[in-house]
Amino acid sequence: MAENISRRQMLGLTAATVGGVTALTAGARAGTAEQPGRYRPAAGSPRTENERPYWEESYSGGPIQVEPLPPGRPGKDYKPVVVPTGYTLPFKIVNGVKVFHVIAEEVDHAFDSGLRAKCWAYNGYVNSTMIEAVEGERVRIYVTNRLPIATSIHWHGIYLPNGMDGVAGLTQPYIKPGETAKYEWTLRQHGTFMFHSHHDEMTQMGMGLIGMFIIHPRQPAPEYHVDRDFAIMLSEWDIPVGTARPNTLEMTDFNTLTMNGKVFPSTGPLVCKTGDKVRIRLGNLGAMDHHPIHIHGHKFRITATDGDDIPLSAQWPETTVLVAVGQTRTIEFVADAPGDWAFHCHMTHHVMNQMGHEFPNMVGVKPGDLDERVRPLLPGYMTMGQTGMDMGRMAEVMPMPANSIPMKGAVGPFGDYISMGGMFTIIKVRDRLASYDKDPGWYQHPRGTVALKASAADLARDGIDVHAPTPSAADGTANGSAPRGGSQGEPGQTRMPGHAH
């Protein structure tokens, strides 16, 4: 029957249907007015704030070709961002255009003093090369390919002409080995962005071809001024012990988690003066994992993404920010608490290094000389959670395979080992600082402000019986569920005599 309907009939049918719907709608409206009890959907409120429309155009609403503004100068038009352990790409100005030269090549990269691997880098810095520019200026970026394979660079989050977007094969031909490509456009936005290879991404980004692209606002709001402005790129690697190159085929079990291409303690501290306004720009171009980055001793606001600044009314306080793969997140806070504050990924396996995961769980097992007997077969093997020695310390004193960091951390200010590696660094906040560029050493705690071993006098004063039996959920005696007057007595009284007084 469908084949027999003519075009004219079809048009007529459509018109009738549309008319019908119109009639129905009108009827429903009238009905609603007559019957006050009927559900009436609320009218949507216009989503504007400070005259900023909801439907915003990405490309600043303007044409691709705009008159560029003069190039911005560091220290004059913007305060340079600090890339811990990284590198800010130099530029020159040619006829009002800011010219950069990016070189992709293989390097011998140190993740830490204990681990090196052949990686791919932009301008010699794995994961930590930063391009810094100012809104409105024109950039010309030459990309020289010294890799054995074709590449391209995508400018992640940045508005540009389609042909500058850097997707190899889609928006441009490959940059073949030995070739130099030229990208050029005018920056139409500000914020924290990234750049990375967009050809065989799994291999090339996995080998290290990622970087930060920061564009300062041309007319910054007063709040844009900060005392410290840091950029940290997050990534993850699989570097099997005994190998010279990252295994970019790994999909789940990454063993080297990095900030700007380094693992703790090589990540380098973020040095601040007490009261400093601090911005940290986080980017994640790792392969598979999102990283919840956590700050100690402070709260922060999430103030921007690679989409745009977040309006003040939409920011919320946090202590952990999830930085998903392919995202940037900018956080801002007042560093008003002096001390050495951990700043790290909260995924526990992401503050570890090259430990293997193929071992049975030995917590609770008496290992005897198991470690010594197994180690000839499995170099670096150690039973976890057994000896009084933590894993990090063991990594320091036990013979480990060459060029490996099974669990490397650092000896801390108390002589004990900081058993954190990987995606971990320290925000060092000090009342007095000789220089932002010098590690001020460990924090000197004011007297009485460190959690030390409790004294006998303390225990006696507060009625703490360290030999008291602990409540047991298993036999139902905890949380007041114990039989009153039974042989075990009232948990509250037995455990905390102090409460009875």
Positions in the binding site for Cu ion (CB under 5 A) = 291, 345, 347, 350
Beta bridge partners of 318: 300
Q: How far is the CB of 208 from Cu ion (least distance, A)?
A: 18
Please say which residue, 292 or 497, places its beta carbon nearer to Cu ion. 292
427 contacts: CB under 8 Å, gap ≥ 6:
269, 270, 272, 278, 295, 296, 298, 335, 340, 341, 342, 343
342 contacts: CB under 8 Å, gap ≥ 6:
294, 296, 420, 424, 426, 427
Q: How far is the CB of 448 from Cu ion (least distance, A)?
A: 35
Please give the DSSP secondary-structure letter assigned to residue 177. Answer: T
Please say which residue, 118 or 290, places its beta carbon nearer to Cu ion. 290
Please say which residue, 226 or 347, places its beta carbon nearer to Cu ion. 347
β-strands 87-88, 129-134 pairing: parallel
Q: How far is the CB of 402 from Cu ion (least distance, A)?
A: 27
> Is the preceding omega at residue 292 within 30 degrees of 0, hence cis?
no
Q: How far is the CB of 391 from Cu ion (least distance, A)?
A: 18
Please say which residue, 232 or 345, places its beta carbon nearer to Cu ion. 345
Q: How far is the CB of 371 from Cu ion (least distance, A)?
A: 29
Please say which residue, 347 or 384, places its beta carbon nearer to Cu ion. 347
Q: How far is the CB of 286 from Cu ion (least distance, A)?
A: 8
Q: How far is the CB of 272 from Cu ion (least distance, A)?
A: 23
Beta bridge partners of 154: 196
Where do we find the tokens 């301008």?
123
385 contacts: CB under 8 Å, gap ≥ 6:
362, 363, 364
Please say which residue, 347 or 362, places its beta carbon nearer to Cu ion. 347
141: its two tokens: 């970026």
Please say which residue, 154 or 350, places its beta carbon nearer to Cu ion. 350
d(CA 376, CA 363): 22
What CA dihedral angle connects 438, 444, 445 and 450, to 10 degrees? 100
Q: What is the per-residue DSSP string for 7-38?
A: HHHHHHHHHHHHHHHHHHHHHHHHHHHH-TTS
Which of 317, 250, 338, 245 is CA-nearest to residue 286? 250
Q: How far is the CB of 274 from Cu ion (least distance, A)?
A: 29
Please say which residue, 84 or 422, places its beta carbon nearer to Cu ion. 422
16 contacts: CB under 8 Å, gap ≥ 6:
none
β-strands 270-273, 424-430 pairing: parallel
Q: How far is the CB of 117 from Cu ion (least distance, A)?
A: 20
3 state DSSP class of 411: strand
Please say which residue, 147 or 234, places its beta carbon nearer to Cu ion. 234
Q: What Rg value do the Cα atoms of the chain yield, rounded?
A: 30
